[in-house]
Amino acid sequence: MDFIYPSRSELQTHLHALPSDRIIILCDQNTQRACYPKLNVSFPCIVVPPGEASKSFDTLEYVIDQLTALNADRSTLLINLGGGVISDLGGFAASIYLRGIRFINIPTTLMGMVDASLGGKTGINFQILKNYLGTFTHPNQFIVCPDFLDTLPERELVSGYAELIKHALLIGEQELQSVLNIIPQALTPTEWLPIIQRSNQFKWEVVQADFRESGLRKQLNLGHTIGHAIESIMMSTSSPLLHGEAIAVGLWCAIHLSERRTSFDTQLAQSVKTYLKDVFPVLSLEEKVLNQIVELSLKDKKNDQDTRLMVLLSSPGEVVLDVPVSDDEVYSALYAYLNHTT
């Protein structure tokens, strides 16, 4: 897989050099409006509604139907232009259409640039279960143009930052301390680039070592067992969360549990937890919602039947995999989050 970090003009040149009669772009309504014009190309577009609801059977069927209508064949190249929803959906569609066609990911969100578009995981949601159906399929190219960050609302930008914090926790204390000093809203696209590249390098090394997540790659699920459950529960409410906002709560709980289960330094844990609450929206959850989150976290696809297995840390960069965590411990961590003051 090729990694490319072009400026906008370099991206335009790169795309114009591709054989244009066999290229189709998948985007959502937001990226069609804000990002597609920046490519300066005239490739046909398949456009889907924005948001997590598009990671569904219905939208997948629509994408396949449009590929068919556009006479896509095995020589066709699909370009996924958008955030994590588009790369997940488009990668899955490409991996199953005619048993597989080539695709390129051009993420336009920070979440896509540092996590969702890199690593070869594709898929859709099933009922309220996150990313339950999908394939492991790498794109042919992973193209990050930081200029697209200027198209993002602040909330979307900050959401993506949660995955950078996760990577910093997994890399080590030096990277973590660097991240804890960042004000994400204040950075320019040029300033984001080296941070994104370090994050990409770390994730790619992990993915190469364990593509199908049988061991080492499990560490990338830090904060996701609880985070995904929160995201799924809130999806059906009047106040749905962005992925990173839910993962930030999951990271908070994972650090809290790490203090108690794997001797993570209390003072450092307090700094991380305070930072997470300073940067991300602080949730207020009712008792019945807490119980729903606890129950749904048991359905995480990485668990072992009825045993909830979580990723914890003994210190930054020192990962403890497959830690059995009880219902009471998850509830206690969520309760601590709700009652934590900074």
Tell me how far CA of residue 146 lies from CA of 6, 25, 107, 141, 271, in angstroms.
8, 19, 9, 16, 29
CA separation for the pair 10, 15 (Å, rounded): 9
Residue bearing tokens 């072009």: 6
Catalytic residue among 55, 167, 218, 228: 228
Q: Give the C-alpha separation, 302 to 251, whole Å.
A: 17
Catalytic pick among 224, 256, 273, 308: 224
Which residue in 138, 167, 203, 218 is the catalytic one?
203
Answer yes or no: 228 catalytic: yes
- Residue 272: phi and psi, rounded to 5, are -65, -45
Q: Which of 30, 38, 105, 121 is catalytic?
A: 121
Active site residue 130: no
Catalytic, out of 99, 154, 181, 288: 99
Region of 120 please: left (phi>0), alpha (psi -120 to 50) or beta.
Answer: left
Q: Which one from 167, 243, 277, 308 is the annotated catalytic residue?
A: 243
Is 99 an active-site residue? Answer: yes
Residue 217 designated active-site: yes
Question: Residue 177 corresponds to which amino acid?
Answer: Q
- The answer to whether residue 295 is catalytic is no
Catalytic residue among 175, 213, 231, 245: 213
Catalytic residue (one of 156, 163, 231, 245): 163
Written as one string, the DSSP assignment of 271-327 is HHHHHHHHHSPPP---HHHHHHHHHHHTT-TTSBTTB-EEEEEEETTEEEEEEE--H
Instruction: Name the pairing type of β-strands 45-48 and 77-82.
Output: unpaired
Whether the Cβ atoms of residue 111 and residue 160 lie closer than 8 Å to each other: yes
Say whether 340 is catalytic. no
| Catalytic residue selected from 105, 125, 131, 221 | 221
55, 217, 218, 308: the active-site residue: 217
Rounded CA-CA distance 222/198 in Å is 18
Residues known to be catalytic: 99, 121, 163, 203, 213, 217, 221, 224, 228, 243
